[in-house]
């Protein structure tokens, strides 16, 4: 269904919107300025502000992309509307992609020659108008505001602001809105766009909605530590992870509701995340002592009392490198790989020059990539992460033959997975069969 609006002043319905639509306001010199873009991102429509302080939703300024809901009130420049209906149907055969960073490089080609390379941060207008973030020459045949590129929920999207639309690899049917894939080309007429961006690890994201209210008591109590061990109390605290309201928005770490140990392990990581949000990493962290994780978990049984002891040990300093690594090693040993990887990623964030942490991340990611029960896309994403971290460790210890062999072995596994996926090369029009 389209986006249906009602003009607040006249009370009359506006012509339903079926495609991405720019919202303009009149300027003092009689011209017009683009203030926002309304675009479908299933399952709803999203308002992307262009000129800050010119767009309001329910009376509040919009500083970032905002999903619309039935009953919302919108102020777009000098006009105001009520949202009568806001739904968007999912696009069939949408390709999967790893979560994307908020910065991407856009390479523009025209008549088989590169004519521009720009960096887009969160969004960019594309066209011939000087106000665009990616300004192209008039001989490209594009309109002033031809298209809008934006990242939303960790995925880059392209929205055509003209009826001509754009075409994707393998299809000659024009599209008006679609998520993009790293390395894949799309065409605005004869103008070819190719995106490159950093793919994020889903485990960089958070565990929960927000930190428990500060009651003045021991913060560990809010997560079920120090209390009587009952399934009811621990499960009530963190039955499943939910999106965090900071820059982290999703998580792939889960706990079985009927497994008290898994729920409590998740609660330990959630507590750590809250503490790490409050306190910055150590400015001069010490390297982790000892050796990297074993290639395979030992499969030992977990004990809630062990988690209690780890929480007590970490309470004075939740960034203690050796304490955090011991937690990660324990979670890895009891076969909670996702939780272990998250703790290792926190260590890596604090000290990206620790070879033990980097190698351990490679070990965990490689093990998960070997799981034949997961999708090929997920396995390929993990083997790439394993190669990245193994390479980091090898650069930090260039004389370590074991690390050089690990990089070689992971590289071979990545090649095999890429061959199974049809190869890693960018998809461009010249590649069509």
CB-based contact 238:267 (threshold 8 Å): yes
pLDDT in tens, 13-42: 999 999 999 999 888 887 888 999 999 999
Q: How many CB atoms lie within 10 A of CB 424?
A: 13
pLDDT in tens, 353-372: 999 999 999 999 999 999 98
Q: How many CB atoms lie within 10 A of CB 402?
A: 11
Residue where a domain terminates, one of 199, 222, 242: 199
Three-class DSSP category at 160: strand
**10 and 157 part of one domain:** no
DSSP 297-358: ---PPP-HHHHHHHHHHHTT-TT-HHHHHHHHHHHHHTT-HHHHHHHHHHHHHH-TT-HHHH
**163 and 292 part of one domain:** no
CA nearest neighbour of 234 among 206, 270, 205, 274: 270
**46 and 106 part of one domain:** no
User: Which residue ranges of the chain lie beneath pLDDT 50?
Assistant: 208-213, 215, 228-251, 425, 429-433
**337 and 374 part of one domain:** yes
**315 and 378 part of one domain:** yes
Q: What is the CATH number of the domain that holds 251?
A: 1.25.40.10
pTM to 2 decimal places: 0.68
Structural domain contains residue 283: yes
The boundaries of the domain holding residue 334 are: 203-421
Structural domain contains residue 432: no
The CA-based dihedral angle spanning residues 290, 296, 298, 301, taken in that order and rounded to the nearest 10 degrees: 110
Residue 212 pairs with which residues in a beta bridge?
none
**268 and 318 part of one domain:** yes
**272 and 330 part of one domain:** yes
CB-based contact 192:428 (threshold 8 Å): yes
CA distance 134 to 147: 10
Residue where a domain terminates, one of 166, 199, 232: 199
**315 and 371 part of one domain:** yes
Mean pLDDT of the chain: 85
pLDDT in tens, 136-180: 999 999 999 999 999 999 999 999 999 999 998 777 889 999 999
**380 and 238 part of one domain:** yes
**193 and 220 part of one domain:** no
**281 and 180 part of one domain:** no
Q: Please measure the distance between the N-terminal and C-terminal CA atoms of the chain and give it in whole angstroms.
A: 35
Looking at residue 226, what is its pLDDT?
64
Residue where a domain terminates, one of 58, 86, 114: 86
**162 and 60 part of one domain:** no
Number of domains in the chain: 3
């Amino acid at each position: 269904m389209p986006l249906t609006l009602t003009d607040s002043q006249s009370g009359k319905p506006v012509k339903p919107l079926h495609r991405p639509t720019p919202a303009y306001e009149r300027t003092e010199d009689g011209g017009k300025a683009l203030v926002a873009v309304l675009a479908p991102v299933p399952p709803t429509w999203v308002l992307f502000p262009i000129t800050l302080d010119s767009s309001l939703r329910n009376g509040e300024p919009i500083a970032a992309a905002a999903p619309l809901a039935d009953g919302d009130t919108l102020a777009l420049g000098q006009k105001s509307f009520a949202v009568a209906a806001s739904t968007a149907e999912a696009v069939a055969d949408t390709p999967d992609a790893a979560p994307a960073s908020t910065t991407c490089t856009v390479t523009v080609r025209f008549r088989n020659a590169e004519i521009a390379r720009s960096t887009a941060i969160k969004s960019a207008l594309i066209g011939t108008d000087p106000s665009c973030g990616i300004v192209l020459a008039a001989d490209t045949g594009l309109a002033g505001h031809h298209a809008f590129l934006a990242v939303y929920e960790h995925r880059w999207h392209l929205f055509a602001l003209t009826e001509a639309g754009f075409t994707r690899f393998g299809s000659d049917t024009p599209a008006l809105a679609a998520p993009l894939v790293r390395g894949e080309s799309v065409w605005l007429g004869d103008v070819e766009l190719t995106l490159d961006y950093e793919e994020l690890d889903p485990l960089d994201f958070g565990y929960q909605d927000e930190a428990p209210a500060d009651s003045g008591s021991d913060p560990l109590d809010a997560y079920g530590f120090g209390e009587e061990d009952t399934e009811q109390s621990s499960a009530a605290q963190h039955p499943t992870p939910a999106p965090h309201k900071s820059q982290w928005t999703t998580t792939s770490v889960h706990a079985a509701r009927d497994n008290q140990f898994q729920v409590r392990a998740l609660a330990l990581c959630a507590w750590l995340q809250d503490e790490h949000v409050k306190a910055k990493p150590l400015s001069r962290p010490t390297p982790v002592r000892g050796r990297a994780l074993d290639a395979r978990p030992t499969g030992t049984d977990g004990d809630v009392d062990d988690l209690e002891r780890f929480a007590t040990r970490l309470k004075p300093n939740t960034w203690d490198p050796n304490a955090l690594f011991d937690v990660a090693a324990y979670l890895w040993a009891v076969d909670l790989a996702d939780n272990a990887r998250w703790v290792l990623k926190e260590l890596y964030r604090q000290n990206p020059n620790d070879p033990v942490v980097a190698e351990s991340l490679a070990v965990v990611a490689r093990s998960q990539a070997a799981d034949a029960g997961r999708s090929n896309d997920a396995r390929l994403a993990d083997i790439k992460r394993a190669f990245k971290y193994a390479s980091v460790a090898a650069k930090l210890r260039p004389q370590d033959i074991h690390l050089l062999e690990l990089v070689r072995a992971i590289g071979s596994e990545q090649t095999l997975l890429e061959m199974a996926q049809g190869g890693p090369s960018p998809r461009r029009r010249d590649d069509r069969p």
